[in-house]
Amino acid sequence: MKQTVSILVALFLITGIAAAQSISVHDPVMAKQNDTYYLFCTGWGISVWSSKDMKEWKREKPVFAEAPEWAKEAVKGFRGHIWAPDIAFFNNKYYLYYSVSSFGKNTSCIGLATNVTLDPNDPDFKWVDHGKVIQSFPGKTNWNAIDPNLIVAEDGTPYLSWGSFWDGLKLVKMNEDATASAEDMSMVPTIASRKSSSSETNPPAIDDNPKDAGGNAIEAPFIFKKGNYYYLFASIDYCCKGVNSTYKMIVGRSKSIPGPYLDKDGKDMAKGGGTILLKGDENWHGVGHNSTYTFNGKDYLIFHGYDAHENGRPKLIIKELQWDADGWPVVQN
């Protein structure tokens, strides 16, 4: 039996295929084209995986073979490790937003690449980079241009949400082709924060988090339409610390994309609200940075967690998402 297991492990390593939900990822997002699921996540050039069943995964080539030149100019010191992508099908193309940043600073940009197909074997497969979409600046913008997510209204209007620490999560209406904001970027509304009011100063940073970011530990917005509501998912507390990670997922909902997003108690997420959806347990030190999709008639929550049995190693987790009688999301263990 041990010999058989060893052979299987060797086969996975040789073919680049990983067993069910064991791949190490941060910030996973997913799309399905035909019979294949494609996973995009933080990594050099944006990491890409493919699967036929969401269980066994094959590593694909990254989106970018080299760091985009515009990004190296916009963020000094950037070498190609790209964070927190977002994938969506819009305008008959796949839109891949991505984050370029310096850790702990809001010297950050959200970029955009598009492709007509996700199948690397398709002759039309080619990522076209459109460069910078949104940028944040230290001392000028009290928000951080990372963790993008595209949501399209029923009338076809695209909106982009983003944010990490500082003044919380932001949202703007985009232009028709979703390549730039259609609104005044000097007055960007906050849709979620851990602060109870806009006048409250950021609580102090804790642990080894840079003081630049403050302690408003919220990030990774993802908006999902279900029934009559738009649900805003977000992550709070701290990621990326292995066994010391405290990541948790919260949720609120609104009948319109701009909000306000209220939690189960009716508290505005922009003023410190947010109902806990999922948090760490004896198996996971922390869980978060989720995306949410409907595939084959089922809703799924896709996120990463820090494995308590492997020294806090970040791993892909996929859970079917249920809904209670009042229309709130529920995750079954």
Q: Which residues are catalytic?
A: 27, 219
Owner of token pair 């963020």: 75
- Between CA 235 and CA 279 the distance in angstroms is 10
- Between CA 321 and CA 298 the distance in angstroms is 8
Please spell the DSSP secondary structure of 247-280, one letter per residue. -EEEEEEESSTT---B-TTS-BGGGT--EEEEE-
Instruction: Return the ∠ at Cα 162 (arms to 156 and 165), rounded to 5°.
Output: 160
Residue closest to 160 by CA, chosen among 146, 171, 175: 171
Tell me how far CA of residue 318 lies from CA of 29, 98, 220, 321, 332, in angstroms.
11, 21, 17, 9, 11
**CA gyration radius for the chain?**
19
